[in-house]
Chain A
């Protein structure tokens, strides 16, 4: 179209029949499907993007892909996203973007987009779908391997996409690439993912890749389809065909808009049908830029000259010169540019043998300078796996040494730049990979590489004068505005290591992670230090991610309700129907309390506590861990894992037990039932169920394999309803009429099996966690909901009420029953907890030896005690620190020795006042004393008491 001075009338891989409208910095612009924002912008003619980060210098588009060092966008949308390179953002209708100066801003709006993940395995993963990658995938696929080919760009073909149409060898290769892609798409065991960037490589050929699925669709993106997908790929074999990035040249004012990478210019010509300038100069250190120069001429651009650093015309250069008549200035370099807000001319000067400009310069008018400072293989994924790199002087590049185990390298990533070589290496790598993955592949012989065309790298084209400190417009890292002067200053401080200089100057720390600046910086430093080449300095370490990845993509769908699994008991629907307020206990949702209309939490909990103490109440105790243990040695085993004895427990009875770690500290507790001589039924705390089973298995498998014991988790086999309170006997009698429930017939800690009136088989235990007469009714969870309803119906005459975990906590704390993990923290022995009665003197058990260590018998250890506020009114919250009377409360007034802290604190309807459980230094020796609990900033005098505050004589247990 004639109003687009830079868009060519023909060519490019864009759909000219469709026009897309977008805005950039408020300008209304147009483009076509197949454009990036950068190509559409260039199509409108010379345009500067946002000025540079620190220096505020005008900048333009330099590259045509992820290597571009600076054209960053913020894309508006439901949740705006910043720091996206304009060279990689595909154009869609309605896109709204602003250019950024080096820094983005997070949009605080919640992101409504969906992100998800995919976990796949493959025989052969091929990264990069240029000629080498396509050939590798085709070879591996032919061998019958499962193949995954991933490509960062929207299209496969790699550098071939930036070649001229026609009948030359490049065009033939592109035809081959198109046909190969179609063949791969038709293979059932080959998957090709485009717009997918492999950004992290990890041990065992585990590769992470990010797929951009819907952004390019704009408003047509279907809602409910993930915007981005994180692929977790496990590959038997990996072929890296990641290509190479072109390097810019370092000279004065090399950042002016209009200075572009030579290969990028070619990409704009052939991928997008955009001619980025009308009058060009090409500056190069090798042969590759001549293709750009020739294509510019063919597209109607005037090429004023090619400045080639090499002293002699190569065959490629001569062929170009002979074919076009464009002057080639050998042994020369561009030493400076001119222009106001964009390029209007360059100066070319001859170089001496040392690379210093000599003699007068030639001023050339141009609006485009295409530069080629050589090529850097994209070795990131190889290097992330600690693959070695070596400096290749012939190529002037860091190339991979030996491939990482299980990996193969093909094409430009190893410095092979000719298409025939890429195809041959790819085919061989793909066949080798398929073969190593166990497929029958015919492996072609190694490719005999062409001798590379000579290069003459120019790491630093000196500016005026001899002092590099003055060369402060010789930009090395455009994104961070780091110049030769900055590197000179860094070297002047004495720093030699590339990692130090990177941190000192911030070079390579931008969005592009130094893709175009890293090797050049090493070259500049080598020149400043008089070293031979960048190879003398070594390279920085490549780390994932290769390109930035949004946290939203890493999170995937694991946000909101799917953030973490939620566990619900078989009675959950019933709790919902009864208006329960739930609390999280690990992953479980447990009813916290059941408020009636108008009740707050305190009122509901007080009512539930009173019901359990004065009438009858019931709760869902299903979450406790349950483990069936069978074997001739089961009793001996339990004797070893519990501090107290279980071997002599009679079948049909239950006993409370405590487990310690090897260090003698309490790790779990619970009631264990003996069902038969060789069968026990252990319960654990809710949170430790899995850990206790693991622990039992560990000791059985690693320490005591001679014991005949097996364990099976049955936590969720059983639904457990606790029926608690002085009237519970009447309720259970109605529920289980076949059971002799008399005081003597069914004593405390006995176990009975029966069939309920409803026909449901049940195991009923007389266990109390409240001190009241209580029963625990265990039924298959299939019947849990029905039995819960039956308990409620049976208890209606007694006014039964459901109670939640908060009331349970109050009731147990009033009795001084600890909760592992709340009143203990891994530093509390059973003796600290005042439970010497549970520690056997007659047998060995895990942790026993530790209980007699000097530190565990110290008299001033923290003991579990109860605290009562002296005023009998002030609540004592968990976590409150305890100090002695007279202790200053701020360090300014003196040391604040801490005596302990409150582990549980409640209001007690039964006691009529608040109370707390606490771990207190020498606590048992302080019973009856006053200490001070610091509640917020207020010192609250509290009286130390035995932990059993309610019914210390135990008169209520049997109803």
Chain B
């Protein structure tokens, strides 16, 4: 049988926010409290479930070129994207592009051991919120502690922003990637752009 998870023609791909690219650009705030929201659609994403220790973990690490993170909030750069820790036996491998993930190699590494390697590239989408005011925007609707002491770049947590469940990944300084289920992307973009508006206005305490 053909593999339904193989990539298709790039020209036929759509991201859930493609129709809002103009609105996202228009919402960009410049100045000392700058913040911008961009959509990063169609990033190859793979769900991994496996026991992190023992031979399976080692085989998966070999395929990825880096060990999987083992603690809550940790992420690890690998040859095939960044692995985000979601649970003691659960990760999300997020690539920077739409190139196919090494699904076969990962499947072989898993072998007969309990676990799963599942292509979930379209399950979520990525929104990137960047700028000095990005944390302020998120703090309008995100309960965990986002202070860099508690949530420095390189960390990711499962949480909610504005009632939208998502993975929040502090990918670089002043840069946050939000990974909601694709169906929530438009609502989340609306929530974020609405929250961004005040940072282009005169500052009020």
Contact = CB atoms under 8 A, between A and B. Distances in A.
A117 B15 CA distance: 30
Contact of B4 (A195, A214, A779, A784): A779
A582 interface: no
Given A225-B204, A710-B115, A753-B1, A717 B120 contact: yes
B186 A195 contact: no
Contact of B163 (A226, A558, A570): A558
Contact of B3 (A146, A568, A714, A753): A753
Given A121-B150, A566-B186, A712 B118 contact: yes
A119 B4 CA distance: 42
Contacts of A214: 204
Interface string A742-758: 00000000001111001
A222 B201 contact: yes
Given A146-B149, A234-B145, A566-B186, A755 B2 contact: yes
Contact of A716 (B147, B181, B197, B204): B181
B14 A568 contact: no
A784 B195 contact: no
A573 interface: yes
B99 to A, nearest CB: 13
Given A222-B202, A714-B123, A782-B8, A116 B116 contact: no
Contacts of A573: 19
Interface stretch (B58-66, B126-134, B136-144): B136-144
A570 B47 contact: no
B176 to A, nearest CB: 14
Contacts of B7: 761
Nearest to A194: B205
A628 interface: yes
Nearest to A719: B122
B116 A630 contact: yes
Contacts of A217: 204
Interface in B23-48: 42, 47
A752 B2 CA distance: 9
Interface string A116-134: 1111110000000000000
Given A631-B114, A717-B123, A780-B5, A232 B143 contact: yes
Contacts of B47: 712
Interface in A710-747: 710-719, 738
Given A588-B183, A753-B2, A758-B12, A121 B147 contact: yes
Interface string A681-722: 000000000000000000000000000111111111111000
A482 B185 CA distance: 56
B4 A762 contact: yes
B133 to A, nearest CB: 13
B71 interface: no
Chain A contact-residue range equals: 35 or more
A566 B139 contact: no
A565 B163 contact: yes
B14 A761 contact: no
Given A780-B122, A782-B13, A120 B5 contact: no
A525 B42 CA distance: 72
B153 interface: no
Contacts of B97: none
A717 B122 contact: yes
Contacts of A632: 112, 114
Given A213-B205, A566-B187, A783 B147 contact: no
B73 interface: no
Contacts of A631: 114
A784 B182 CA distance: 12
Interface residues of B, number: 60
B185 to A, nearest CB: 8
**B4, B7, B114, B141: most-surrounded residue (chain A CB, <10 A):** B4
B96 interface: no
Contacts of A211: 205
A718 B122 contact: yes
B119 A717 contact: yes
A759 B183 contact: no
A226 to B, nearest CB: 7
B179 to A, nearest CB: 12
Given A195-B205, A628-B116, A781-B182, A567 B12 contact: no
Nearest to B49: A710
Given A565-B164, A628-B118, A118 B184 contact: no
B116 A225 contact: no
Given A118-B140, A214-B204, A761-B6, A717 B121 contact: yes
Nearest to B163: A565
A193 interface: yes
Contacts of A738: 2
Nearest to B42: A782
Contacts of B1: 752-754
A588 B186 CA distance: 12
A778 interface: yes
B170 to A, nearest CB: 15
A760 B13 CA distance: 10
Contacts of A562: 162, 187, 190-191, 194
Nearest to A755: B2
A322 interface: no
B197 A224 contact: yes
Given A712-B118, A716-B124, A718-B122, A763 B187 contact: no
A186 interface: no
A569 B184 CA distance: 9
Contacts of A225: 198, 201-202, 204
Interface string B48-79: 01000000000000000000000000000000
Contacts of B141: 117, 119, 557
A146 B147 contact: yes
Interface in B154-205: 162-164, 181-184, 186-188, 190-191, 194-195, 197-198, 201-202, 204-205
A785 interface: yes
A224 B8 contact: no
A491 interface: no
From B139, B183, B190, residue with most partner A Cβ within 10 Å = B183
B22 interface: no
A354 interface: no
B123 A716 contact: yes
Contacts of A761: 2-8
* Residue among A193, A715, A716, A783 having the largest count of chain B Cβ atoms under 10 Å: A716
Nearest to B202: A222
Interface string A918-945: 0000000000000000000000000000
Interface of B: 1-9, 12-16, 19, 42, 47, 49, 89, 112, 114-116, 118-124, 139-145, 147, 149-150, 162-164, 181-184, 186-188, 190-191, 194-195, 197-198, 201-202, 204-205
Interface of A: 116-121, 146, 193-195, 211, 213-214, 217, 221-226, 232, 234, 557-558, 561-562, 564-570, 572-573, 588, 628, 630-632, 708-719, 738, 752-755, 758-763, 778-786
Given A119-B142, A225-B201, 8 more contacts: A116-B140, A119-B143, A630-B116, A711-B116, A753-B4, A754-B1, A761-B7, A783-B13
The 5 closest A-B pairs by CB, nearest first: A781-B122, A567-B183, A121-B145, A786-B12, A760-B8
15 contacts: A118-B139, A222-B201, A557-B162, A562-B190, A562-B194, A569-B183, A570-B16, A631-B114, A710-B116, A715-B123, A716-B122, A754-B2, A761-B4, A780-B119, A782-B14
